[in-house]
Amino acid sequence: MTLRALRFMTAGESHGPMLVGILQGLPAGLPIDLAAIDEDLVRRMGGYGRGKRMKIERDCARFVAGVRHGHTIGSPIAFLIENRDWTNWQHVMGVEPLEATDPMPGGTTAESGDLPGRAADSRRVTRPRPGHADLAGGLKFDRADLRDILERASARETAARVAAGALCRMFLAELGVGITSHVTRIGGAGLEAGTTLPVQTVMERAEASPVRCADAQAEAAMIDAIDAAGNSLDTLGGTFEVIAFNLPPGLGSHAQWDLKLDGRIAQAMMSIPAQKAVEIGDGIWAAGHPGSVVHDPIHYDREQGGFYRPSNRAGGLEGGITFGGDLRVRVFMKPLSTLRQPLPSVDIVDGEPAEAVVQRSDVCAVPAAAIVGEAMVALIIADACIEKFGGDSIGETKRNHASYLRQVGDFPPQAS
C-alpha cells in the first residue's frame, strides 16, 4: 500500500481491446491538457530498440469520467487506451466461451487436435520464458495456458500508468514541481560512473535523443550496443534516472516505516516491469565511502532563500523526507526476457525440455521505462503533496502550499 491520498488502478491485457485506468483524489478545478497526456503516451512508445508492436499502436487516452470542460471535478477520473492490435487477437482473447466448432487462429477448430477447447488454440503458451512471469504466474493461478499470465504481465500496462502520471504531472506543475528523466546506461554503454548532469542539460538534450541520453558520445555507444544485441537476437537492459525539481521540503515522513518517501518511491519504481534495483542519490557509491565525504553539508543564507546544500549526494531525501533539493532516483532494468534465440525451458504439457516460447518483443525498452519512471514518480510525489497540503479544490491546495512555504521561510519557530 503505497498511495495514501490518491487511489490508482489499471485493468487490461496486452492484446485485449483496451487498457483502463481510474485515478481518484486529484482536487477539483485542475486544468487538464488532453494533448499533453497523449504526448506523454507517444514519448513512452518511442526509443531506439522498440519492436513492431509500437508501429501498430497509436496510444491516446479517452476520458470517460472525472473531467468536464477541461477541468477535473473532484470525482474519479476514468480513461481508456485502445489496443489497436486487438483486431488481430479477437479470437485468442475473446470473452465468450469457445464453442467446439469455433474456427481458431492457425486454421484449426477448437475440437481439432488432441486438446479440447481453448487449449487447442495455436497461440497457447506452454514453454515459459526464463525471466518473465510465465512460470511463477502459471503455478500460482493454476493456468494451463500461460498466455493468461503474460497478457497482464506485459509492459503494455504501463501505458495506463503514463496517462495517470501525466495527470499528476499537471497537478504538480500547479505547485511549481517538474519531473524529467534520462537514460544513463544501456548494456555496457553509458555515462561515466559518477556523472551527475544538471537538470537543464537533461531537459534540453535527453528529449531529442533516440535513446533519451543527454551525452552525444554515450548516445552513439548505446545505439551501437542496441544494434549489436538486435543482430545477435539478444536483448539489453540498462539504467535511467528520474529527477523531480522545485520540490518543497517536508514531503514524506520519518515517523513510520510506511510513510518514508524513499521507501514509497522505491516500491513504485520496482513495480515497473523488468526493474531489478533502485538507487536514491549516490546511494550505491555512498555505501563504499566514509560519512565525512558522503553527507551534504548544510549552509544558510537568508539572501539565497535560507538553507541550501553545495552538494546533493542524498538525492533530495533525508530520513524519508524531502529537504528541498532535487529528487534523483536511478533505476536498474534487466534485459527483456523474450529472446528471439530462446533459452532452455520446459514444456508444461509433458515436462520435457524445450526452448522457451518466442513472442514478438523489443530489443531494448530502457528509454520507454524512463518515461514510465517519470509517471511513477509523479504519482508518488502528487500523493505526498495531497497528503501534506490537502485541498478538495486546486485553489485550496495552492493556498495551503503557499502558507506552508511561508512557515518554512520563517523557520525556526519562535520559542514559546
Nearest CB to ligand EPS, comparing residues 324 and 367? 367
Task: Find out whether 244 and 377 touch, Cβ atoms under 8 Å.
Answer: yes
User: SS3 for 190?
Assistant: strand
Question: Taking the complex as a whole, how short is the minimal distance between the CB of residue 168 and ligand EPS, in angstroms?
Answer: 20
Footprint on residues 77-106 left by ligand EPS (CB under 6 A): 85
How near is the Cβ of 18 to ligand EPS at its closest, in Å?
13
What is the number of helices (H) and of strands (E) in the chain? Answer: 12, 17
Do residues 134 and 147 lie in contact, with contact meaning Cβ atoms separated by under 8 Å? no
CB 264 within 8 A of CB 385: no
Cell 533502485, located at residue: 278
In 3D space, the residue among 237, 408, 244 whose CA is nearest the CA of residue 326 turns out to be 244
Q: How many residues bind ligand EPS (CB under 6 A)?
A: 16
Q: Which of 43, 124, 156, 185 is in the footprint of ligand EPS by CB under 6 A? A: 156
Binding residues for ligand EPS restricted to 344-363, rule: CB under 6 A: 359-362
Residue 148's CB: how many other CB atoms inside 10 A? 18
**Contacting ligand EPS (CB under 6 A), which of 72, 184, 338, 397?**
338
* Residue 46 CB neighbour total at 10 angstroms: 14
C-alpha 227/C-alpha 11 separation (Å) is 34
Residue 143 or 309: which CB sits closer to ligand EPS? 143
CB 52 within 8 A of CB 360: yes
Give the cell for residue 362. Answer: 523489443
Smallest distance from ligand EPS to CB 143, Å:
16
Helix (H) or strand (E) holding 178: strand 178-186
Stretch near ligand EPS under the rule CB under 6 A, chosen from 154-162, 217-225, 318-326, 402-410: 154-162
Give yes or no for residue 155 binding ligand EPS (CB under 6 A). yes
Tell me if 216 sits within 8 A of 204, measured CB to CB: no
Q: Which is nearer to ligand EPS, 57 or 347 (CB)?
A: 57
* Comparison of 155 and 213: residue with beta carbon closer to ligand EPS: 155
Q: How far is the CB of 336 from ligand EPS (least distance, A)?
A: 5
Binding mask 195-224 for ligand EPS (x = CB under 6 A): ------------------------------
Tell me whether residue 333 or residue 348 sits nearer to ligand EPS (CB atom). Answer: 333
Residue choice 336, 339, 357, 381 for contact with ligand EPS (CB under 6 A): 336
Residue span binding ligand EPS (CB under 6 A) among the ranges 153-161, 212-220, 389-397, 400-408: 153-161
Task: Compare residues 286 and 366 and give the one whose CB is closer to ligand EPS.
Answer: 366
Q: Is 369 helix (H, G, I), strand (E, B) or coil?
A: helix
Location of C-alpha cell 487449449: 119
| Rounded CA Rg of the chain | 23
Span interacting with ligand EPS, options 18-26, 152-160, 161-169, 216-224, rule CB under 6 A: 152-160
- For residue 85, the minimal CB distance to ligand EPS (Å) is 6
**Footprint of ligand EPS on residues 26-55 (CB under 6 A)?**
51, 53
Contact between 376 and 384 under an 8 Å Cβ cutoff? The reply is: no
- Identity of the residue, 279 or 362, whose beta carbon is nearer to ligand EPS in the bound complex: 362
Angle, to 10 degrees, between the axis of helix 394-409 and the axis of helix 158-174?
Answer: 60
Q: Does 378 bind ligand EPS (CB under 6 A)?
A: no
Amino acid of residue 154: S
Compute the distance between CA of residue 80 and CA of residue 74 in angstroms, rounded to an integer: 19
Cis peptide before 412 (omega within 30 of 0): yes
Among 149, 365, 370, 377, binds ligand EPS (CB under 6 A): 365
Give the distance from CA 382 to its chain's centroid.
15
**Does residue 161 belong to the site contacting ligand EPS (CB under 6 A)?**
no
Interacting residues with ligand EPS (CB under 6 A): 14, 51, 53, 85, 154-156, 159, 336, 338, 359-362, 365, 368
